[in-house]
Structure 1
Amino acid sequence: MSEQRSVPLRKHLMNLKPCRHGGLIQETSETYRIPESEILDFSANFNPLGNPFEHPESGLNFDEVLKNGFKKLTEYPDNRYLEFREAAARFVGLGVAPQNIIPGNGSTEIIRLVVECVVEKGDLVLLPQPTFGEYEMQCRIMGAELQYPNQDEVETLPDELLEKAKILFICNPNNPTGKLRTRNEIKALAERCAKHKTLLFVDEAFIELSDPSQSIADLPISSNYVFVMRSLTKDFAIPGIRIGFGIASPEVAEILDTARLSWNLGTLANAMGTALLNIEGGVENPYLKKARLMIREEGEKLKAKLDRIRGFKAGEVNVNFIFVNISKFMLDSTELSARLAAHGVLVRDCSSFHGLGKDYIRVAVRTAEENDKLIAAIGDVITQWGKEQAKSELQHVIEKASEEGIGGRKTCEYYPCHFEGQNCTFCFCPFYPCENERTGGKWIESSRGGKVWSCVDCHLVHKKETAQKILDCLMQEGDTDELVKVAWKKVMEPIL
């Protein structure tokens, strides 16, 4: 075995694991050989209306923005980003001024910048869980000591703990749970943090798609111990262009702005960001108001449909995604996500979030038509899983019958599900779904949307003589699927 080569990197980085995110469209396309254009992504959470350039009410012209950006492609960006800062301050309102704004190449760069400038190796950082994984990632890079209080414990964190902590991260609304804290709750927390000289980092990446009135973006104006982060990715559905900004007190903002990478916003990103932030009316622009209304209405409809799926428990709808407990579902989050991906539908497997295990998924709120496709895809996965279980059960029945013959299951909690004295050799019908209404079966409306084949009124396979004949066919040598076809032709068709 060759000796491992040494690397000139900090030792604590040797076991660093990448932070997982949603939006893996290209990877899914490569894995399942599905064209990217045919993949429906519920794993990443953007404005369900799409980008504002597709909506006249936004007042934005894409060609004009690009034209302005292209004019300066041969120049370095103005590293002061004056127009961007002014636009960001106007967009936020609440008394925020340009000198409070720190431009960033997406929210992740802002997180890295703050952590680099605040945290030293060994410093304690509080990361209420579950929450966005990039906070932990950037803190680990700096060698911080991490503690993970529960989200429900945030308001009652002990003073001694806050006294020791360098930063407390709060995502509001929280990703992935969707929990929205009120302005008063965050304000009270900010006062406690300031008292203990702990920086309160509040990530408001989703606030414009939730309830902007709960923003605390004005608090940093008068406090060196509150920092607010905003992202344009979610509001305007532009993940391909990395644009975000931070809001801090003038003293803190000046230092962070000096420490950030020079020219961190390229010419086109700067032009795009400035145009978007200059949108008429700011957070009250018709485009954003329409998006919030759509999220509330379609989110509640989607939640109701998710709740009708056996084993699903959807969380509250405060923002453009829904946190779903599937701990009582037939599949765990990893298997469900993989099966849906094979159908061209992506949901966020939340197993990468601290402490959640494989009991949760997160789904974006999209258009009514797209949301229905998600529900239909889950239905298809359930049907496919049911067929696999039926096939597995059938194999078990055949093996058991070869030793014991046919029989009943009178100890079953559902007995009798068809009639007293029924034969239960085939609890799972080997022909399901036969789609032949002469059997007594029929298509019915599913509680999760769409139709499902119901066998409630079909008694045929539960008659002893019929069950025996079917079993005789299935116990022959050969492929099980082919034997099922033979059994249908030899046993069922003559009866029908």
Structure 2
Amino acid sequence: MDPDSVRTGSRVPHGGEPDPDLLDFSANTNPRAPDGVGDVYAAALEESRRYPDDDYPAYRRAAAEFVDCDPAEVIPTPGGLAAIRLVMECTLEPGDEALVPYPSFGEYAREVSLQGATPRFVRYDELCEIGPAVLEACALAVVCTPNNPTGDAIDPDALEAFATRCGDAGTTLLVDEAFLGFTDRSSAAELDLEHVVVARSLTKLFGLPGLRAGFAVATGDRRDALATARRAWSVGTPAVRVGAYCLRQDAFVRETRARVTHERERMREALAERFEVHPSDAPYLLCDVGDRDVSTVIDDARAAGVSIRDATTFRGLDSHVRVAVKDRTANDRLLAALGVHNRDDVDRETEHD
């Protein structure tokens, strides 16, 4: 990390509502966690009287099975963002350039800048079309799939073609798959390319954002560099025990994907009555509120007990909010808070009439 860049850096805004009295739709986390995590955590707490095994064998095996890679390629990290920082620390030097998507996760540009490098912003849906001339000038390219906050996932063939061009140009490709677990799409880890590094987060899919568990996947010399640079005992025992347990809860993952798919479409149809809603493969929906005042929309929702994300903090967006996809009961509260009719209720009223 570049000391001068740290002194001139700043924080970036995120979702997450600290007020427990509000229903939080500003953070895109599963409202449910797998059965049994409490017992696993309690057992791990007693184990925490010793240092964790710094090789994390059980956690790495579970992560490898989840994304279909070799356990040796898994680098445990305390959350997906820690994986992103680790990759950038090992890749970027002061003066480098990095391709960063927009509108997208604000931490990409911040982490690039903290290394003393310069973010080169590209529309997220145009990034995979970038050619050799631009790539050769960049040490790193970042893609987010599904993209946050828009929610659309990258076509696998387009991603593979882009990865090939990155390799030809000598550019490291960082693929952030923080929300890919909510889909049935394969991980970019299956590309098995040394210049491609994947960052994964467990805590969104499994509803445990405060636990801080994630991992990176890399091969060859890149894997060796990340493994060397990773801090010793970087993930606590409760996080790796619960993480390994959650990664093997196949039925929970299937149920979550089915619920999110169904509820997302139901919410999209209802929200489209008032807003322009972006297509999504993720557990959230980006809504353009048009000529309405974004702050007023947010404040009105809060007055109704619901917190939503101000998406104008994302580069390139000026009239947008983002809402998470939760369970049916919570989603209905969100729709009511935004003054949107529940489609099922409308249908029932029509039948009654």
Q: Which amino acid aligns with 2:253?
A: L
Shift of 1:187: 0.5
The residue that corresponds to 1:294 in the other structure is 259
**How far, CA to CA, are the matches of 1:110 and 1:360 in structure 2?**
29
Deviations 1:266-306 (A, max 9, x none): 12112111222233xxxxx1211111111111111101110
The residue that corresponds to 1:42 in the other structure is 25
Structure 1: runs of 5 or more not aligned: 1-8, 30-35, 54-60, 280-284, 381-444, 451-496
Instruction: Confirm whether residue 379 of structure 1 aligns to residue 352 of structure 2.
Output: no
**How far, CA to CA, are the matches of 2:343 and 2:241 in structure 1?**
48
The residue that corresponds to 2:132 in the other structure is 159
| Conserved? CA contact 1:305–1:448, under 8 Å | no
The residue that corresponds to 2:51 in the other structure is 76
The residue that corresponds to 1:338 in the other structure is 299
Name the TM-score, length of structure 1 as normaliser: 0.66
Which of 183, 206, 216 does residue 188 from structure 2 map onto? 216
Q: How many residues align?
A: 345
**How far, CA to CA, are the matches of 1:446 and 1:199 in structure 2?**
46
**How far, CA to CA, are the matches of 1:268 and 1:208 in structure 2?**
21
The structure-2 alpha-carbon separation of the partners of 1:165 and 1:71, relative to structure 1 and needing over 3 Å to count, comes to: same
Structure 2: runs of 5 or more not aligned: 347-353
The residue that corresponds to 2:350 in the other structure is none
Residue 198 of structure 2 aligns to a residue whose secondary structure is strand
Shift of 1:343: 2.8
Which of structure 1's runs of 4+ aligned residues deviate more than 6 A? Answer: 445-450
The structure-2 alpha-carbon separation of the partners of 1:342 and 1:79, relative to structure 1 and needing over 3 Å to count, comes to: same
Give the greater-gyration-radius structure (CA): 1
**How far, CA to CA, are the matches of 1:446 and 1:278 in structure 2?**
35
**How far, CA to CA, are the matches of 2:150 and 2:327 in structure 1?**
21
The residue that corresponds to 1:23 in the other structure is 16
| Conserved? CA contact 1:99–1:254, under 8 Å | no
Q: Which amino acid aligns with 2:296?
A: E
Deviations 1:31-78 (A, max 9, x none): xxxxx1x31111111224x0012xxxxxxx235413431332221111
Shift of 1:181: 1.1
With a CA cutoff of 8 Å and minimum separation of 6, indicate the structure with the bigger relative contact order. Answer: 2
Shift of 1:19: 1.4
**How far, CA to CA, are the matches of 1:261 and 1:446 in structure 2?**
49
The residue that corresponds to 1:323 in the other structure is 286
| Conserved? CA contact 1:376–1:449, under 8 Å | no
Shift of 1:370: 1.4
**How far, CA to CA, are the matches of 1:276 and 1:446 in structure 2?**
33
Instruction: Confirm whether residue 355 of structure 1 aligns to residue 337 of structure 2.
Output: no
| Conserved? CA contact 2:289–2:321, under 8 Å | yes
**How far, CA to CA, are the matches of 1:126 and 1:446 in structure 2?**
41
Percentage of identical aligned residues:
34
Deviations 1:117-163 (A, max 9, x none): 11001100011211111111111111111111112322321321100
Name the TM-score, length of structure 2 as normaliser: 0.92
Shift of 1:97: 0.7
In the TM superposition, 1:298-447 aligns within 5 A as 298-309=263-274, 312-328=275-291, 330-331=292-293, 333-357=294-318, 359-379=319-339
